[in-house]
Structure formats: structure tokens, C-alpha cells
Amino acid sequence: MLKDKIQAALAPLNLAQVSDGDYSKTGYHLEVAAAPGQMPAVAQALLEAGCFLESLTAVDLRESFTLVYHFASFDELCRTVVRASLAKETQEAQPPTISRVYPGADWYEREVYDLFGIKFAGHPNLKRLLLPEDADFHPLLKDFGAEPKND
Amino acid sequence: MIELGIEEKSYTLNLGPQHPSTHGVLRVLLTMDGEYITKAEPVIGYGHRGHEHMAENRNYQQFLPNMGRVDYLHALAYNQGYCMAVEKLLGLTVPERGEFIRVILSELNRISSHLVWIGAYLLDLGAFTPILYAFDDREHILDLLDRITGSRLTYCFYRFGGAPRDLDEEFITGARAFIKRLRSRFGDYESLVTKNVIFINRTRNVGIITREQAVKYGLTGPTLRGSGIAYDIRKSEPYSAYPAFDFQIPIGSKGDVFDRYLVRILEMEQSLRIVEQALDKLPNGPIMADKVPKRLKPAAGEVYQAVESARGEFGCYIVSQGDIKPYRIKLRVPSFGNLSILPEVAVDTLVADLVAILGSMDLVIPEIDR
Amino acid sequence: METKTGDPLIRLGLLEEALNLARANSLWPLTFGLACCAIEMMAAGMARFDLDRFGAGVFRPSPRQSDLMIVAGTISKKMAPAVVRLYEQMPAPKWVIAMGNCAISGGPFYYPNQYAIVPGADLIIPVDVYIPGCPPRPEAIIESILMLEEKITKRGRLRKFRNVKG
């Protein structure tokens, strides 16, 4: 079973949490919590287990960011979500890039940088992707722009 | 050896953002050595409209029309993905007839998307006749969909809990007549395109994508299935009413442009099979779930819903904090991953081959830019 | 002629009218689809709704060879300089049709916190005809070509039944 294979591959990495997800409610089979520094090792383990990177994004939780990685597999259904929490003050401690393992993450990380301002250490080409190169704001931060008037 | 002092400089060619291919606004910076490409770098963002930011400023119902504009060619699949994600958060179950209606309309939309692709792709390659045939067939589908949904292109038809309007007798007879008509047209497409020597020469052994590349870049959809990997969300992670139907997933063998074209043609036939079976088995009953709250306040939590659109896997990731507005919505679009492989596949090809490869990935740029 | 290029230096009288008639009946549009409206523009040029019977079916990819720019789709801030540059590259006499709600006023994407789009093509280039709709039906595109013809020739399509002042 792919889920057991992934759990076995992640066991030696000493992650904060590896638990079953409630598929019918959330769409995840495995929920994993890791530290941002462990992400390249996690990505390598999942690549060897045969998974591909489905999506990479971030959520701004006001006091911190959460990087959310989704992995799935072509051969067997098992969706793994890996969440890495990133404190806002420690901007020097940038999360390492996983684009050495998954080249497809290159563009996803550029998009996260563009929309949130999170820089990835070791990224080959960290430029803005969607906004013009000379833009000076990160639109998906919760304190971007005035408060919306009424809806 | 005497050095003649001739410097070889590479030539930079800027393709787009306005160019005759009908993909939208894509810009590709090409560094070329003569006619051969040494480096291809796509520049995107010319169609960025801020969908994800709009999601945080709108409530769930107000965001629904946006989904038709993300990928306008297969808008109903995006509608379906978003509605299913929110229904998971709310705990709603769509009744069976509602699911069948969703599948029928979505598959007809898939066929019309593939027809647009065939027409536009062959126009890129220089053939003018197939686009006229393809758009004519597409108009018949649009007549049917227009009857029920009210729109021709950017549908906003499904609601949380089902579908708002039922199919009528005229739609069902029209759909059956259309299935018969399109099946008789496949022979025309085959003789005009699939067996055309010029087309085969331009597409065979061009732009080969291997399985390792597909895994590393996260490709999905016909771009992936052309390389021989049978991954289709409708079969791998069945949703809605798809388990009730019998259909196949066509795959290619070599991973070149011709295989991706053939996969899409065969997919149209499979979609016709699904529509036929759905019309035969259409159950009676309600089309909307009862007790759908007027003010939607989903419970706090996260959900990821994947559906198969004409281009690949569309994933809708919603983070809710119990408010009437979503906290964060991430739209995982198939063309994003499919385009990111271009720098690797386009090396050492001719510019004319680049047009063939770019078109074969079936990109919709506003979807990448969101 | 239009006041966009100022008063003409030489007035040619009847020849002007003949030239305007020729220009109106052979508009060559620029293929400028930005987003969803591009597909409806393509459908308007295809077999069922045939723009070619009005003379406007020859879509040119180069702005130097076209005299009509149909802005079909949302103009993002990144794309706006390119739109202006294309407009400037077209030789006069030239006309612009703003197709779809996005090109008229930002469409469904306009809201107080919008950071990414230019709400309307007429903020950056002069527009002659507006086609509302999201997306507008191909019949509306045909109607807009006919309205533009009326604007160019300064005479109504059905002179006996309509009063059009140019």
C-alpha cells in the first residue's frame, strides 16, 4: 500500500506529525507536519516513493505563514499534505527550496514569493512570476491594501 | 589552426505576448543558435487578474462566477470542482439526478474544449480547414448547453447542492442527435488530419516527454497521458457519478506531439460514450439537495478537491475559518505544471517545432495567471 | 474623417466618401485576444457567424497591417504597455472596439481592492465602439462591426428607415 510505503519512508526523518487524514471530509489520506528545514529530505523521500508534486502554496495566518505542499501519485491514490509552519519575524531563516528534487516546484516557489514575499534559499531564479517585475507589494498578505468597505 | 576572430553570438527572439497563436497572452524568450533553440524561458503574468485575492474578498456564492473565467474552455469542470469542495466543507450531498446532469454537461463541455484545441492547434500549424469543421461541431454543442445554462462560454451553472435547472426533452433528443452527428464526423477528422502526411511529419518524434520528466514536473491531463501514464482523476479518484459509467482512458506510447493529439481525439469518443450512457441511465428525482443554507458558513477546516478538466487535474484547495468568506483559496491549475516543462523540452528544437510543442500542451494562459 | 488624426489637410469631397466606404467594408482586425472574449471573437469569424461577409474576416497577426483592434479580454497592468504600443504601431486611420465587460470597465474583476487590472480599455487608448457582454455573443460582434461601419461612413445602414447623424 502506498500509504504504508510513504509512512515508512518518512519514519527516519523524525517529523512532528504523520497521521491519517479523513478522506471524505478533506480529500487527504495522510497529513504530515514538518519543519521548513526538513522539506528537501521529505521531498526526496516522497520522490523515491513515486509521488509527484501536485501543488505548493502558502497561507498567511497573520502571526505566521504555513507552507502547504500537496503530493499525489500516478499509480495509486494517496494524497499527502505536508504543512510547514514559518514564523514571520525570522525572515533570515528562509525555507530551503525543493526545486533540486522536484524541478516543477521552481515556478510554484516563485509564485509564493510573488504573492507572499517568502524567499526560498537556494532557488535558482527567484524572480516575480505573475506581477510586473517592478511591483513592490505582495498581494495575498492579510494586511495588503485598505480594509474592504462592505460586501 | 588560425583563429579567424569570428564571434558566434546567440540571437534572442521574443515570442509574444501578442502573437497569432490563440493561447492567450504568453511570452517566450528564446535564445537561439541559428534556427535551433538553446534556451526557452516563458514569461507569464500578462493575464493576471487576481482571482485568489478576489476569493478572500467575496463570499462563497459571489466567487462562483470567477470559476468560469479561470479556464473558460472547460468552465463547467471548474464550477464542479469548486462546488464539490464547498459541499465537502458544508457536508452536503448532491442527489443522483443532479450528479448525472453535472456529468452530462461537463462531458459535453470537454468535447467542445477539445474541438477548440484541434481547430486552434491546426491553425497554428498552418491548416485552415479543420478549424472551420471543429468550430461548426462546437456550435452544435453550444446550442445544447445554451438551452440549459444560458451561456455559451463562461458558464456559472452549478450551485452548492446540485444544479438549478433540469434537462428537458428537447435537450435529450438534441444530445442524442449530436452524438450521432459527431461520430460520423470523426471519419472526416481522420482523413483530413490524422492521416495527413504533412501533419505526421510535423508532429511525429517532436517534443518527447519521458515518464521521469512527467513525475518531476507534475504533469497531468492529455499531456501526461501521451507519455503512456494512465492517470485520469475520473478513474483514479472517482467523483460525482463517474463510477457508474464504463469508459476507457486512451494513452499514447512515445510521448511525442502526435500521441498527445491522438489522445485528445480518442478522449472525445470516450466522452461521447459517457454522455450516451448517462442519458440512458438518467434517474428521476430532485436535482438540488434540500436544506442548503442561504448564508453559507462552512465549518473551519481545509479541503482539497481534484477534478479532471480537459487540460488535466484541477485542484481546489479551500481554507475556511468558519466565516462567510473563504480564508484562502488556491486554484491548482493543470496548465501551470504543463508549461513549466517547456524550458526542458524545447532545447535543441527548431522554432517551428516549438510552436507544435507549445500547442500540443493545450495551454490556457489566463488559467496559469489566474 | 475622424478627429483622431485632426482635420484632413486636403479635402477630397466625393472621393472621401468613396474611400470611407471602402475602409468600412474591408476592416482588417488585429488578432488581439487576451482572455475569454477571444474565443467568441474566433467563433464570430468562423463558419456560422462569418465576419468575412462583412469584409472583416481577414485577421492579421501584425499591427502594421491591420486597421481595427478588437480588445477582447481583461487588460492587466502588466499587459497595458504592450496594448498601447500595439495601438501606436497601427497606421492611421485606425479604430478600436472594446469587446466585453472587462475592456469596457473592468468587468467582473473590478472591485475596490483590485490591484492587477486596468479597469477599461478607454483609460489607455481611444475606443470607438463598446460591446457589452461577458462574453458578448458573436451576433453582438457583428452588430458592432456594422455600427463601426456606420460611424466611418457617416450614413446609416438602412438610410430610409434610420436617422444616423455622423
pLDDT of residue A93: 62
Helices within B150-256 (DSSP H only): 169-189, 197-203, 211-217, 222-225, 233-236
Average pLDDT (A2-29) is 80
Measured CB to CB, residues of chain B less than 8 Å from chain A are 44-45, 48, 50, 52-53, 56-59, 62, 88, 214-218, 224, 229, 231, 236-237, 301-306, 313, 315, 317, 319, 325, 327-328, 330, 332, 336-337, 340-341, 344, 369-370
Residue A127 has pLDDT above 50, yes or no: yes
Residue A76: inside a domain: yes
Element (H, E) at B305: strand B301-309
pLDDT of residue C98: 93
Question: Is the Cβ pair A132, C77 closer than 8 Å?
Answer: yes
- Which grid coordinates are listed for B59? 463570499
Q: Give C159's pLDDT tier (boundaries 50, 70, 90).
A: low
User: Could you give the angle at which helices C37-44 and C138-153 cross, rounded to 10 degrees?
Assistant: 70
Residue A80: inside a domain: yes
Average pLDDT (B265-287) is 91
Residue C74: inside a domain: yes
Residue in chain C closest to B153 (alpha carbons) equals C135
CA distance C63 to B233: 42
Whether C77 and chain A come into contact, CB under 8 Å, resolves to: yes
pLDDT of residue A25: 83
pLDDT tens-digit profile of B161-171? 888 988 889 99
Whether B25 and chain C come into contact, CB under 8 Å, resolves to: yes
How many angstroms away from the CA of C72 is the closest CA of chain A?
20
Residue C116: inside a domain: yes
Helix, strand, coil percent values for chain C (each to nearest 5): 40, 15, 45
CATH number for A68: 3.30.460.80
In angstroms, the first-to-last Cα distance of chain C is 10
CB A43 within 8 A of CB A10: no
Residue B3 has pLDDT above 70, yes or no: no
Residue C16: inside a domain: no
Which residues of chain C have a CB within 8 Å of the CB of A132?
A: 77-78
pLDDT of residue A63: 84
pLDDT of residue C107: 87
Q: Give B290's pLDDT tier (boundaries 50, 70, 90).
A: confident
- Disruptive mutation site among B317, B338, B345 for chain A (greatest number of A CBs within 10 Å): B317
- Which domain does A67 fall in, by range? 2-92
Residue C97 has pLDDT above 90, yes or no: yes
pLDDT of residue B81: 92
Average pLDDT (B55-75) is 89
Which residues of chain B have a CB within 8 Å of the CB of A106?
A: 340
Helices within chain B (DSSP H only): 51-56, 60-70, 75-90, 96-125, 129-149, 169-189, 197-203, 211-217, 222-225, 233-236, 257-281, 334-340, 342-345, 351-360, 365-369
CB B341 within 8 A of CB B209: yes
pLDDT tens-digit profile of C109-151? 888 888 888 998 889 999 999 999 988 999 999 999 998 988 8
Average pLDDT (B187-195) is 85
Average pLDDT (B89-109) is 91
Residue C3 has pLDDT above 70, yes or no: no
CB A49 within 8 A of CB A70: no
CATH of domain B11-369: 1.10.645.10
pLDDT tens-digit profile of B329-365? 999 999 998 888 888 888 888 888 888 888 888 888 8
How many angstroms away from the CA of A139 is the closest CA of chain B?
7
CB B47 within 8 A of CB B25: yes
How many angstroms away from the CA of A36 is the closest CA of chain B?
20
Question: Is the Cβ pair A137, C77 closer than 8 Å?
Answer: no
CB A90 within 8 A of CB A71: no
Average pLDDT (B302-315) is 91
Residue C69 has pLDDT above 50, yes or no: yes
Residue tagged 504543463 (cell numbers): B338
CATH number for C76: 3.40.50.12280
CA distance B49 to C118: 10
Residue A8 has pLDDT above 60, yes or no: yes
Question: Is the Cβ pair B57, C111 closer than 8 Å?
Answer: yes
Question: CA-CA-CA-CA torsion for B16, B116, B231, B320, nearest 10 degrees?
Answer: 80
Residue C166 has pLDDT above 60, yes or no: no
Residue C21: inside a domain: no
pLDDT of residue A91: 59
CA distance B279 to C115: 45
What mean pLDDT, rounded, does chain A reach? Answer: 83
Average pLDDT (B51-72) is 89
> 3-class DSSP state for residue B261?
helix
Dihedral (CA of B354, B355, B361, B363) sign: positive
DSSP B191: I
Q: Give B21's pLDDT tier (boundaries 50, 70, 90).
A: low
Beta partners for A96? A121
Domain residue ranges in chain B: 11-369
CB pairs under 8 A between B and C: 97
Q: In chain A, how many domains are there?
A: 1
CB B301 within 8 A of CB B101: no
CB B167 within 8 A of CB B148: yes
pLDDT of residue C162: 54
What mean pLDDT, rounded, does chain B reach? Answer: 88
Question: Is the Cβ pair A148, B337 closer than 8 Å?
Answer: no
Beta partners for B27? B43
Question: Is the Cβ pair A131, C116 closer than 8 Å?
Answer: yes
Residue in chain A closest to B43 (alpha carbons) equals A129
Q: In chain C, how many domains are there?
A: 1
Question: Is the Cβ pair C78, A146 closer than 8 Å?
Answer: no
How many angstroms away from the CA of C32 is the closest CA of chain B?
7
pLDDT of residue C136: 92
CA distance B23 to B367: 11
Dihedral (CA of A134, A137, A139, A141) sign: positive
Q: Give B79's pLDDT tier (boundaries 50, 70, 90).
A: very high
